[in-house]
Structure formats: C-alpha cells, structure tokens
Amino acid sequence: MIKLKNISKVYRTKTIETTALNDIDLHVAKGEFLSIMGPSGCGKSTLLNIMGLLDEPSNGSIVVDGQSITKYASKATAKFRNEKLGFIFQSFHLISDLSVIDNVELPLLYRKISGKERRRLAAEALESVGLINRKGHFPNQLSGGQKQRVAIARAIVGKPAIILADEPTGNLDSVMGDEVMAILTRLNEDLGTTIVMVTHDERMAKKTHRLIRLYDGSQVATASLA
C-alpha cells in the first residue's frame, strides 16, 4: 500500500545540516496496522508526514496505492490526498470556528458532493465514533478524548484507504487512549483500512500488527506483533 525506498530527509541551514531520516526502506501492506516507535527527535513524525505527502523527502521515492508521488504541491496530489489518506494528529487540529459536524465534513468540501450528502456522511462518521449527540458543539466544548474522536471521524469520513495517526493517544489519559485505540483497531479490522501510527506508548504499539523502531533517523528494528 505504501512503499518507501531510500527515503532521506535532511534539514539544512547556513551552518548546520541535520539528518532527520536516513535511507529508510519500508513497505506497508494493504490492511496492515503498523506502529512506529522511537525516542523524541528520531524522525517518527517526519516519516509519517512523508508517507502522508505532507512533507517532501530530500531523497528517495514513494509510492502510495500504486501511485508514484513526485509533485507535492500539485492539484492532483491534493486530490489524491483527499481521496486516499486520512490524518489524525496528536493535538487534534480541529478548527475552532467550526462546529463538530462542520469539522468532520471538511474533507468532503473538496469533493464534488452535495451538501445534503456531506451532512449524511459526516453524521455517519460521527455516529461511528459515538459523538452524534455532540454534532452542534464547538471543539472548545469537548474533552480531549472527544476531540480526538471527532478528529478520527474527520479522518474516516471520506473513507480513505490509509489512515496516518501521529501519536493519537499522546494527549489523552489511558482510558480515553484505550477508547481511541479501540476505534482505530475496529476500523482496521472491520473496514480493512491501512493504518500507520506513531506512538510513544508501548502498550498501544503492542495492539498493532507490526512495530518498527527508529533511532537517529534510521530504522533499527522491526517486530511482527500479529
């Protein structure tokens, strides 16, 4: 589903060159639930961002769902991102000016779908995360766990083949973290959605199919957990 070949990411300033990722080769299979672990600053989020086409690698090639990605700022890539990928962020990134249902609807705005259909799909996504009764609320009226569930609903509303989650339980307590993890697991098992999750939490990582570990931008270990 996702093929990374010789991926490197180097940040350069006038005086310093920092290697965030060093020659990463990775293949994520369709329907796989992969977790990425490693110490802070090892390049986990950078790797996830590159897989999600949110960031460009300095070197290497990337193929997502059979499509080789070269132009990151193009309309076609934006469309591809919209249709194939869903994102969950540690700090939720909900838009505070929009209600819960409007936040969930957001990915559908960039598709040719009627307003009525958008509403129906957004309600369905909210239903699946158990927050339909909160659809008219605004993000600042929700708890952290609820915010993340709204973010999950937003990520799945467009029925993407791949979900990329950057520490989705990082800002939550263990109970809420478990709830969010349960939703992700269900998504993976019931709908066959491919999920790549960055986490610091060993307990959460153990619930996935495979774990890779990064250290200083390099892949140092892979463990199959399924």
Partner 1 sequence: MFLNYIKLAWRVLARRKFFTFITLFGISFTLGILMVFLSFLQSELGTSAPMKHKDDFVWISQVQLIRNVIDTIPVVDSMMQNGAMVFDTVSYDYKERSSGQSNSEINCQLAEKYLIGLPSAEYVTIFNSSYTNDVFVNGVKITINALMGDPNYWKVFNHKILEGRTIDQDDMDNAAQVIVISTKTAREYFGVTSGVLDRELKMDGKTFKVIGLYPDNSKIVDIISPDAVVPYTIYNMENQDSYYFGGFGAMLKKRDGATTQKLKEEIYHAASTIPIDHPDNNWEMNEVNFKPAATYNEAYAQGIYYEDKAEDSHQIMSFIVYGLLLFFILLPTLNLINLNVSRIMDRSSEIGVRKAFGAHQGNIVVQFIVENILQTFIGGLLGLILAFLLISLINSGGLLGDAILKLNTKFFIYSFFGTLLFGILSGFIPALKMSRLQIVNALKRK
Binding site for partner 1 (CB under 8 A): 49, 52, 54-56, 72-75, 78-79, 81-83, 87, 89, 93, 95-98, 102, 106-107, 109-111, 115, 154, 158
* CA pair distance 159, 86, nearest whole angstrom: 8
* CA pair distance 43, 23, nearest whole angstrom: 12
Interhelix angle 115-128/144-156, nearest 10 degrees? 130
When the beta carbons of 136 and 206 are compared against partner 1, the nearer one is 136
Instruction: Mention every residue, 6+ apart, whose C-beta is less than 8 A from residue 76.
Output: none
When the beta carbons of 52 and 145 are compared against partner 1, the nearer one is 52
When the beta carbons of 107 and 211 are compared against partner 1, the nearer one is 107
* CA pair distance 219, 130, nearest whole angstrom: 37
User: What single-letter DSSP state applies at residue 136?
Assistant: T
When the beta carbons of 78 and 191 are compared against partner 1, the nearer one is 78
Minimum Å gap between C-beta 15 and partner 1 is 20
When the beta carbons of 168 and 207 are compared against partner 1, the nearer one is 168
Minimum Å gap between C-beta 98 and partner 1 is 7
User: What single-letter DSSP state applies at residue 173?
Assistant: -
Minimum Å gap between C-beta 135 and partner 1 is 15
* Residue 121 one-letter amino acid: L
217 phi/psi in degrees, rounded to 5: 85, 5
Write 189-192 long-range contacts (CB < 8 A, 24+).
191/159, 192/30, 192/31
Minimum Å gap between C-beta 27 and partner 1 is 23
193 phi/psi in degrees, rounded to 5: -70, 135
* CA pair distance 51, 49, nearest whole angstrom: 5
Both ends of the chain: CA-CA distance in Å? 18
When the beta carbons of 98 and 132 are compared against partner 1, the nearer one is 98
Minimum Å gap between C-beta 189 and partner 1 is 24
Minimum Å gap between C-beta 151 and partner 1 is 10
C-alpha separations of 188 from 4, 13, 21 in Å: 21, 40, 27
When the beta carbons of 125 and 205 are compared against partner 1, the nearer one is 125
Minimum Å gap between C-beta 85 and partner 1 is 8
